[in-house]
Amino acid sequence: MQKYTILIVGGAGYIGSHMVKMLAKDGHRVIVLDNLSTGFAEAARFGEKLIVGDLADESLLDQLFTDYQFDAVMHFAAASLVDESMENPAKYYRNNVNNTLNLLDAMVKHQVLNFVFSSTAAIFGEPDYTPIDEGHPKNPINPYGASKLMIERMLEDYAAAYGLNSVSLRYFNACGADPEGELGERHDPETHLIPLLLQAASGRRESISIFGTDYPTPDGTCVRDYIHVVDLCDAHLKGMGAMLSGQLNRANAFNLGNGEGFTVREVIQSASDVVAADDKQIKVLDESRREGDPATLVATSKLANAVLSWHPAHPTLQGMIADAWRWEKGS
């Protein structure tokens, strides 16, 4: 297999660090750029070099693309908290949109024309139907989703004007951890359901709350998509490969989901089953609904299956949680 030189922006974060490890394990040369605002330097250790810097620094980007002959760029460096984006939209438009524009301009200047973008299913807003496919109307309801949609539109324009090839991957909930236990999820503050459950099991927090038990779903709790972080990285890898092989050009976008989703209670039950093997329990509190939580958010991956030959290798909820629990116990 041909070996490439890849720039991973945000490679010290949760998904980015798993991507760095996967690429390095395949023998590619991996350079990481991360400002470490939410990432951890040691998480990027599988790459050849970590450059601590920000996409706002245009001179740094120019020097970086001068020093290395990149074959492709992967971008994981977005701010991604919905609530924060409502309170501080300027941060999201500045970091997600302006800084990505700087990156794309550097790529075009140095003729690095293959880009994999970690987008989000939040670009769709409240779903008109589920599972959500690529043709679903795009109507984001928060600045986070709006900023990602702006970038996707920029990629379409850069493809038409400058020949930039791109693959945007839209998904809801990354979960799990490196099956070898070397990497995992560690946000501060933590907002994702599965790590919150496991922190309650390990004693790092007292309880976990269910926000709303009266939704029109099988058990009254919200339904969400979950995809193992390793499977997400595999989708990024396949997207990059499709561009570098000439299979894909211009701007492309794929939804990634399990097609069915899991209720909050199903996730809690699976987590309880996993931690019971270590004689741990999870205290659960029922609380009222949060504003803006749709009942069901589930995406279909049929297009990614067909075009990228992408199929999740870790489809079971219990398996995803077991990997995350291994990381939680060791972290």
* Residues contacting 198, CB < 8 A, separation 6+: 271, 275, 321, 324, 325, 328
Cα diameter, the chain: 59
What phi and psi values does residue 291 have, to the nearest 5 degrees? Answer: -65, 135
Q: Which of 4, 68, 92, 144 is catalytic?
A: 144
Assess whether 144 carries a catalytic annotation: yes
Q: What are the residues facing 175 on neighbouring strands?
A: 228
Q: How many Cβ atoms sit within 10 Å of the Cβ of residue 299?
A: 27
Measure CA of the first residue to CA of the last residue in the chain; give whole Å: 34
Q: Quote the distance between the C-alpha of residue 274 and its chain's center.
A: 24
User: Which residue shows structure tokens 């503050």?
Assistant: 189
CA 72 – CA 5 distance, rounded (Å): 7
Q: Is 299 helix (H, G, I), strand (E, B) or coil?
A: strand
Q: Are 12 and 36 in contact (CB under 8 A)?
A: yes
Candidates 147, 69, 144, 62; CA nearest to 103 is 62
Q: How many Cβ atoms sit within 10 Å of the Cβ of residue 159?
A: 18
Annotated catalytic residues are 144
